[in-house]
């Protein structure tokens, strides 16, 4: 039986993780949040006292990192060396660390095999920044999800405020633009749409509107009942 692989790429704050998670629940697919995996690597390095520019130190400590995705109470949780870090990785600092470590070829290689192995074992929806171009170039469906930088920053700002973080919108926007530039400009697996990806701009959309648009694309491309 052939497994269905769906790749959703796009910049920070485009809504990839939320939409991919909801669609995976509907379809009963495995949801793989690759961004969370990079955040977990970054969290480990930050806790180890490294600086984000210490590439040699980060590569040296990679063998100490063990990342697991588990489902608990119907939710996907990410574990770092046995600790549930699902909440700890959702900070602005973790976001910056994720961008920094994801630019390191050895880190990408470290996680690549695990990501591809997940896709071989079942139907998956995987989101990130290079899923359709590098991780799953043969995916059945490739979607590049984006929105205006202001809209993405607003969503991120509201998400952080709901979690109790004291953030300023202008700072969130600046960090988002900095990450866009870093992710798009890196030499290893830069952020870009695959040539055969479907481009989808969600600026101004409600969650339900974006979800409906993605659902329609997946249904058309896979003929899967959703």
226 part of a folded domain? no
CB atoms within 10 A of CB 121: 9
**pLDDT digits 0-9 by tens, 145-161:** 999 999 999 998 998 89
Domain with 158, as residue range(s), is 5-217
Crossing angle between the packed helical segments 92-102 and 169-185, to the nearest 10 degrees:
10
140 part of a folded domain? yes
Does the pLDDT value for residue 73 go beyond 80? no
Q: Per-residue confidence at 225, pLDDT binned at 50, 70, 90?
A: very low
Q: Per-residue confidence at 4, pLDDT binned at 50, 70, 90?
A: very high
CB atoms within 10 A of CB 113: 9
Domain count, the chain: 1
Mean pLDDT of 152-176: 91
223 part of a folded domain? no
222 part of a folded domain? no
Does the pLDDT value for residue 139 go beyond 70? yes
Maximum distance among all alpha carbons in the chain?
49
Which residue from 131, 99, 133, 100 is spatially nearest to 118, judged by alpha carbons?
A: 131
Report H helices in 28-79: 34-47, 55-61
* Model pTM score: 0.81
Which run of H or E residues covers position 209? helix 207-222
Query: What percent of the chain has pLDDT above 70?
Result: 98
225 part of a folded domain? no
169 part of a folded domain? yes
The strand pair at 198-201 and 124-128 is best described as unpaired
**pLDDT digits 0-9 by tens, 44-71:** 999 999 998 999 999 999 999 999 888 7
For residue 54, the domain's CATH number is 3.40.50.300
Report H helices in 48-148: 55-61, 92-102, 105-121
């Amino acid at each position: 039986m052939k497994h269905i692989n769906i790749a959703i790429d796009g910049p920070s704050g485009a809504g990839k993780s939320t939409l991919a998670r909801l669609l995976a629940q509907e379809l009963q697919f495995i949801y793989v949040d690759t961004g969370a995996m990079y955040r977990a690597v970054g969290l480990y390095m930050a806790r180890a006292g490294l600086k984000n520019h210490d590439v040699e130190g980060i590569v040296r400590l990679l063998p100490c990192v063990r990342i697991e995705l588990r489902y608990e109470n119907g939710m996907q949780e990410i574990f770092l060396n046995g600790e549930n870090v699902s909440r700890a990785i959702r900070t602005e600092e973790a976001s910056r660390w994720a961008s920094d470590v994801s630019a390191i070829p050895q880190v990408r290689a470290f996680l690549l095999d695990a990501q591809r192995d997940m896709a071989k074992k079942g139907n998956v929806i995987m989101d990130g920044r290079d899923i359709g171009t590098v991780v799953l170039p043969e995916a059945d469906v490739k979607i590049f999800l984006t929105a205006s930088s202001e809209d993405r920053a607003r969503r991120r700002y509201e998400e952080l405020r709901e979690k109790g973080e004291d953030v300023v919108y202008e700072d969130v926007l600046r960090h988002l633009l900095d990450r866009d530039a870093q992710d798009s400009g890196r030499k290893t697996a830069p952020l870009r749409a695959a040539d055969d990806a479907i481009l989808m701009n969600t600026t101004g959309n409600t969650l339900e509107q974006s979800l409906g648009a993605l659902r329609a694309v997946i249904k058309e491309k896979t003929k899967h009942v959703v």
